Structure 1
Amino acid sequence: MAVFSYAANGADDTTDRRIPVTVLTGFLGAGKTTLLNAALSEISAGKVAVIMNEFGEAGLDHDLIESVEDEIVLMQSGCLCCSIRGDLSGTIASLVERRDDGSLRFERIIIETTGLANPSPILQTLLVDPELARTTRMDGLITVVDAANGPATLDAQFEAVSQVAMADLILLSKTDLVTPTAADAFENRLSGLNPTAQIERPIDGRFKLEKLWGRSGLRKNIEPKDVIAWTTPDSPPELAPLNNLSSISKPKLSPLVMSPHDVRISSASIVLDAPLKDVAFDLWLDTLIALRGPDILRVKGIVFLEGVETPFVFHGVQHIFDPPVSMKNWNGGDHRSRIVVIARDLNRPELQRSLDMLRAHQPEIATKEEVFPNHD
């Protein structure tokens, strides 16, 4: 059974009216609250609804608070906050209902997780709940990592490693508290865990908050170069031939920063020049998910199928997948599929055999692949 279906011709609706949802995660003390307070006082995102587990943990800047009513904290900026009372689905549904009836105003939602949270259930909730799938869309997963305490945290807590491996954007905080050499080494370690995530160092006001938004590649009318960047390490800015992935296959890390937790994360990328048969792609994806679904942190990519002029962008967490998005604005002669798998406890030979299923359907000269684990 295929994980999802495709449509060569569909309604050309280029307007996505669903509410964008950003998940903000990171371990305790990494700086999520500082980032959240900044986001609530900044205008690039419009009015924001923030969902968190407890107000007490959030440490919201009380100078920004205007009033409190019915478990809703209204900010002077017009943004609002609420805590999860029961399940996440019910909390979001309640906010959306009040937005629709005009009692609340907001343009996007930020979900701040607790420090120990695995973000997978949140991403899956947005997809498996029919009402949320209709009214919201995932806009990006942002992970804040502390440069001073982060290495020890990754060594001690596998949840922190998962937060890094699943991120669309990694914010490396507190780099002013460590030497440039240590910051660079830690950033290299983060790149080894998640080669396709953009890493920023938001210190001294040099980070533009608008970079927080639009991190997912599953957006209607997204530019082709942005989708390529979402799926390709060191992606070039234009639709030029891809950089050789072997240059980042093994980050140059000191043995002092390696951890057994890092070794559990593997990533693999494959580039296919010729369009795939839809049955071949579905068989590969079904087999991968059936055998190791719980260990798949993320799988994403751009895929060209035989008989379909434009590519599809797809994304999944474990066995749950977003509906694929047809890139109707794709142009030019680039018809290469690009697929990235980030997995836990999935050893190199298993990833290799999985990718061989796809390679078997391609001319030998048309395939380039690279497994880039963070260990030998």
Structure 2
Amino acid sequence: MSDARIPVTLITGFLGSGKTTLLRKLLVRPELADTAVIVNELGDVGLDHELVETVTDEVTVLTSGCLCCALRQDLVSTLRDLYLKREAGEIPRFARVAVETTGLADPAPVLQTLVADPLVGSFFVLDAVVTCVDAVTGLAALEAHPESVKQAGVADRLLLTKTDLQPDTAALELRLAVLNPGAPRQRVLQGDLDPALVLNQARRPEADRLADLDRWLDAAKDPHRHRHHSDIAAHCLSVEEPLDWTRFTKWLGELLERSGADLLRVKGLIQVAGEARPLLVQGVQHVFHEPQWLEAWPPAAPPYSRLVCIGRNLETASLRAGLDSCRAPTLAEAR
């Protein structure tokens, strides 16, 4: 059964990374004509005057058909109000939402709202996290500002902006590969981007999503990507034997409690004892999506558990030992 909830795309990135330029270009594309955009302050969008058609007390309707509103209270209230106005016919019926965070925002609380809040989760579903990274100042921001690190670490897609000013992005991309090895990196000039790369990601055919997941897990295996002085890195774990689900959830809960905000992201496929299908698990810090059963293992993926943990001061040996302890007992062990 298809998910009827409204998909939400989170657009984040450090100060000056190009979020406003990206939004301005996307809002005039016909693919976004039925999109509601939530920004921290309406003036931050820098909308050209000719784009504005009508303005209500809280919502701006653009000539393209898009809606814009300011995040004046909290995200739950804003999403609720938008949905109620949509259902009452007070604003056009939007089919998706894009949320732009401030450049200094930690994206984790926003993700927590989208994933864990029962009111929001009834009508909206997180589609993807898109992070803009400035090719000129991005490396310095990653070294100096923890918010920038978190924004990159939780991304589903990384957009490299201002590459016309700084074409050589090798050092920046190496740093991003350590932080988030599976997130595809896309160069974006002046905000020009195919909307299909950032919209409706969760509703693509399962085969496409499985291929992306397989690349994400494989990317984390490269040991050269972990050779960096930073205390934040990706750790790839695997167990060939089936896992006991009760043991796994207990271990994961203990890991979340112990690591807290230092655990930026977890993503992987789990082989649960007694099940032929893989189970997709993913979370950001202490907030986890509901586990999802997939129809089949990715074609190129071996049918055993693989998990990637991205975080600060995590010990690979300890993580591996913890996951190993989740193996389901064999018949001989059960006796």
Taking structure 1 as the reference length, the TM-score comes to: 0.80
Q: Cα RMSD over matched residues?
A: 2.4
* 2:196 aligned to which of 210, 214, 222: 210
Q: What is aligned with 1:72?
A: 59
Listed as ranges, the gaps of 5+ residues in structure 1 are 1-12, 236-241, 364-376
Q: What is aligned with 1:159?
A: 147
The reply on whether 1:116 has 2:92 as its aligned counterpart is no
Shift, 1:61, TM fit: 2.7
| Matched ranges for 1:287-302 at <5 A | 287-302=254-269
The reply on whether 1:352 has 2:317 as its aligned counterpart is yes
Q: What is aligned with 1:131?
A: 119
Contact 2:41–2:72 (CA under 8 A) maintained in structure 1: no
The reply on whether 1:82 has 2:69 as its aligned counterpart is yes
Q: Which string of whole-angstrom CA distances, capped at 9 and with x for unpartnered residues, describes residues 87-141 of structure 1?
A: 1100001111112223221111111001100000000012332110111111111
Q: SS in structure 2 opposite 1:148?
A: coil
Q: Measure, in 2, the Cα distance between the counterparts of 1:87 and 1:67.
A: 24
* 1:269 aligned to which of 214, 236, 248: 236
Q: SS in structure 2 opposite 1:167?
A: coil
Shift, 1:330, TM fit: 5.0
Q: Measure, in 2, the Cα distance between the counterparts of 1:327 and 1:191.
A: 27
The reply on whether 1:326 has 2:293 as its aligned counterpart is yes
Shift, 1:293, TM fit: 2.3
| Matched ranges for 1:1-376 at <5 A | 13=1, 15-104=2-91, 105-178=93-166, 180=167, 182-203=168-189, 207-215=193-201, 219=202, 222-230=205-213, 232-233=215-216, 245-246=221-222, 248-250=224-226, 263-328=230-295, 334-344=302-312, 346-348=313-315, 351-360=316-325
Q: Which string of whole-angstrom CA distances, capped at 9 and with x for unpartnered residues, describes residues 127-158 of structure 1?
A: 33211011111111111011112122222211
Q: Measure, in 2, the Cα distance between the counterparts of 1:112 and 1:85.
A: 13
Seq. identity, %? 38
Q: SS in structure 1 opposite 2:38?
A: strand
Shift, 1:226, TM fit: 2.4
Q: Measure, in 2, the Cα distance between the counterparts of 1:205 and 1:119.
A: 21
Q: Measure, in 1, the Cα distance between the counterparts of 2:219 and 2:130.
A: 25
CA 1:243–1:323 in structure 2 vs 1: closer, same or farther (change >3 Å)?
Answer: closer
Q: Measure, in 2, the Cα distance between the counterparts of 1:142 and 1:250.
A: 23
Listed as ranges, the gaps of 5+ residues in structure 2 are 329-335
Q: SS in structure 2 opposite 1:201?
A: strand
Q: SS in structure 1 opposite 2:44?
A: helix
Q: Measure, in 2, the Cα distance between the counterparts of 1:244 and 1:27.
A: 24
The number of aligned residues is 326
Q: Measure, in 1, the Cα distance between the counterparts of 2:175 and 2:163.
A: 14
Shift, 1:86, TM fit: 1.4
Shift, 1:20, TM fit: 0.5
Q: Measure, in 2, the Cα distance between the counterparts of 1:224 and 1:273.
A: 23
Shift, 1:267, TM fit: 1.4
Q: Which residue type is aligned with residue 321 of structure 2?
A: D
Contact 2:33–2:64 (CA under 8 A) maintained in structure 1: no
Q: SS in structure 2 opposite 1:245?
A: coil
Runs of 4+ in 1 over 6 A off after TM superposition: none
CA 1:244–1:127 in structure 2 vs 1: closer, same or farther (change >3 Å)?
Answer: closer
